[in-house]
């Protein structure tokens, strides 16, 4: 077994910090930008027995990781273990303590590399860096994200929370924006073109076919439109520029 420990100090009280972790968007905000993870399913709480399922690329394959929460003691502790994934063993304990108005977040990870003796040998030959260097980089990114997000949210903590609708929420910017707003305590909804997910905060529209009821916008404090033909996918020509323009004009002409 190997152990990894990372300590983050946050300029926020323990209740605010723990509450940040309880929001669904915290998973996306803590995932480093170079780790391409697709969230498949997530329970709404950190309660014991709740799970989060996500996929990530490993070479030419996609691996599924199922994490199950094994301990929940707000605002001081929660823990999870891998019940399916690339490691033979993985547990992650999150411990929080408050000192002088700041919160110390201690991440303790215990893991066993795959392939038994062969995996241990490879890790030993590489000086324990097969996994540890990746963990160090990942948790440093998590530290910066946690510190900066909580610092940013603190500037607006005195204001009422908003009901916000986001179009284009599946794109690179939209995904992060929805997660950021969610961890700030806002009531975030998605405007989507696909079939609605049962129980999700979603509203369906089809702007290309004029299928949308403006009355569905009633009650929202803020509407953010990030949808449209991607601007960075292909080389621009006259046809491409027209597509980019039309995709934005038509969907905002109701």
Q: Which residues, at least 6 apart from 190, have a Cβ–Cβ distance to it below 8 Å?
A: 165, 166, 167, 169, 178, 200, 201, 202, 203
pLDDT (tens digit per residue) in 51-64: 999 998 876 778 89
Which of 5-9, 129-133, 199-203, 210-214 holds the top average pLDDT? Answer: 5-9
CB 228, CB 242: distance < 8 Å: no
Whole-angstrom distance, CA of residue 148 vs CA of residue 162: 21
pLDDT (tens digit per residue) in 79-91: 999 999 988 899 9
Domain 2-154 sits in CATH at: 3.30.530.20
CB 149, CB 21: distance < 8 Å: no
Average pLDDT, the chain: 90
Q: Which residues, at least 6 apart from 93, have a Cβ–Cβ distance to it below 8 Å?
A: 71, 77, 79, 106, 107, 108, 109
- The band of 127, judged by pLDDT with boundaries at 50, 70 and 90, is very low
pLDDT at 97 over 60: yes
Q: Domain map of the chain by residue range?
A: 2-154, 163-252
With 0-12 / 13-18 / 19 or more C-beta atoms within 10 angstroms meaning exposed / middle / buried, residue 210 is exposed
| Of 96, 90, 23, the residue nearest 63 (C-alpha) | 90
Topology of the domain comprising 163-252 = Rossmann fold (3.40.50)
Give the per-residue pLDDT at 133.
Answer: 85
Give the per-residue pLDDT at 230.
Answer: 82
């Amino acid at each position: 077994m190997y152990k990894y420990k990372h300590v983050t100090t946050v300029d926020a009280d323990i209740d605010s910090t723990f509450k940040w972790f309880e929001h669904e968007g915290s998973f996306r905000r803590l995932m480093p930008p170079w780790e391409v993870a697709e969230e498949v399913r997530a329970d709404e709480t950190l309660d014991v027995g709740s799970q989060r399922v996500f996929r990530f690329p490993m070479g030419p394959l996609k691996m599924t990781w199922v994490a199950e929460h094994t301990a929940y003691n707000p605002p001081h502790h929660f823990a999870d273990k891998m019940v399916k994934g690339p490691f033979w063993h993985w547990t992650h304990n999150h411990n929080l303590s408050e000192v002088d108005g700041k919160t110390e977040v201690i991440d303790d990870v215990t893991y066993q590399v795959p392939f038994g003796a062969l995996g241990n040998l490879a890790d030993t030959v590489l000086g324990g860096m097969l996994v540890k260097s990746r963990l160090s980089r990942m948790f440093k990114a998590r530290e910066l994200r946690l510190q900066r997000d909580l610092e940013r949210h603190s500037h607006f903590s005195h204001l009422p929370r908003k009901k916000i609708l986001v179009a284009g929420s599946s794109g690179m910017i939209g995904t992060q924006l929805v997660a950021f707003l969610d961890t700030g305590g806002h009531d975030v909804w998605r405007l989507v073109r696909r079939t609605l997910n049962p129980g999700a905060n979603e509203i369906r529209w089809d702007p290309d076919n004029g299928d949308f009821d403006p009355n569905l916008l009633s009650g929202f404090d803020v509407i953010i439109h990030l949808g449209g033909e991607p601007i960075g996918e292909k080389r621009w020509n006259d046809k491409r520029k027209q597509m980019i323009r039309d995709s934005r004009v038509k969907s905002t002409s109701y």
